[in-house]
Amino acid sequence: MNSALMPLLEQLTKHLKDNGALQSSVAEFQSRFQNAAPGDPLPCPQCHLEGRIGRLIPLPELDGYEPVKCTECGETYPVKTPT
């Protein structure tokens, strides 16, 4: 997996855990994330919690963050730009 995506995966995993996802659900999400082909949209954790498949798209970098937004539920996840 592209190591540049690790901070994003950590952020999304935190979202799942903060919202009470079971370990099995977290593992399933991480597997889905890591198996996304290059160029494919990444899965949305909020949609995953709700049993849907969301797709994250990158937003323009802003103030040191590279946020991603879900096209399904509209949730945005701020991810700090690696320095």
The binding site for Zn ion (CB under 5 A) comprises 44, 46-47, 54, 70, 72-73
> Which residue's C-beta sits nearest to Zn ion?
54
CA distance linking residue 22 with residue 71, whole number of Å: 24
Our CA angle for 68, 26, 55, nearest 5°, is 30
Nearer to Zn ion, 6 or 74 (CB): 74
Shortest distance (Å) from residue 48 CB to Zn ion: 8
Burial 55-65 (b: 16+ CB within 10 A, else e): bbeeeeeeeee
Q: Please state the closest distance from residue 37 (CB atom) to Zn ion, in A.
A: 19
CB 49 within 8 A of CB 43: no
Name the minimum Å distance from CB 68 to Zn ion. 10
Task: Select 9 or 83, whichever has its Cβ closest to Zn ion.
Answer: 9
